[in-house]
Chains A and B, each alone.
Chain A
Amino acid sequence: MGVEIIFKIAAIGILTAIVGQILKQTGKEEISSLATLAGLIIVLLMVLGLVGNLFDTIKTMFNF
């Protein structure tokens, strides 16, 4: 748990943007959109784990 996840998400965002642009330039529109979607899902899973961690902490802390 730390700042590195912020940098990770930012890096994945930049990477998927670049990959999407390259794929789009080479004429593979559908693969480009798939790559973008994959990046979004990876980041979503990371954030989901983080939010789940927060919920667990709150649950144990406030005696739910």
Chain B
Amino acid sequence: MELIFKIVAIGMITCIATLIIKPIRSDFALMIALAGGVIILVMLLNYLTSVFDTFNLIINSTGISSSLYSLVLKIVGIGYLIEFSASMCNDSGNSSLGDKILFGGKIVIMVMALPIITNILQIIAELLPA
């Protein structure tokens, strides 16, 4: 629970530091924003570990193959990374580069999801009467 206060504090400190530095050296302001964003994200990821442990427990008890689960997990990870880097590019003024990163992430996620789709098709084909 005290994590939210930490995140808010780090966010505000980063914001103020960026505002102070921007008129002096505008290229350092982006670095500060990047550092603050990474710190917040790492804190959140450490917090998420308990959620993933619970998910692991549920998956193990349902008997779904763990390769599928890890694939979904990877896709979620790619989503977080892409979102972070794309918003970073947008902040620095390169919004078209951010859009390209988003596009690349979508394509990578689609390629990674193809095995799941073929799996579903296989299951449907098995269910259908020959």
Contact = CB atoms under 8 A, between A and B. Distances in A.
B77 A47 contact: no
A16 B21 CA distance: 11
Nearest to B67: A63
Contacts, number: 88
B13 A61 contact: no
A50 interface: yes
A6 B21 contact: no
A58 B80 contact: yes
A9 B31 contact: yes
A63 B73 contact: yes
Contacts of A62: 73-74, 76-77
A43 B17 CA distance: 14
A53 B49 contact: no
B77 A12 contact: no
B45 A57 contact: yes
A63 B70 contact: yes
Interface in A25-64: 39-40, 43-44, 46-47, 50-51, 53-55, 57-58, 61-64
Given A6-B32, A55-B81, 20 more contacts: A1-B39, A5-B39, A6-B17, A9-B28, A9-B32, A13-B24, A13-B25, A13-B28, A14-B25, A39-B28, A40-B28, A43-B28, A46-B31, A46-B35, A47-B35, A47-B38, A50-B34, A50-B35, A53-B42, A63-B73
Interface of B: 9-10, 13-14, 17, 20-21, 24-25, 27-29, 31-32, 34-36, 38-39, 41-42, 45-46, 48-49, 52, 70, 73-74, 76-77, 80-81
A-B pairs, top 6 by smallest CB distance, nearest first, are A62-B77, A13-B28, A63-B70, A10-B17, A50-B38, A17-B24
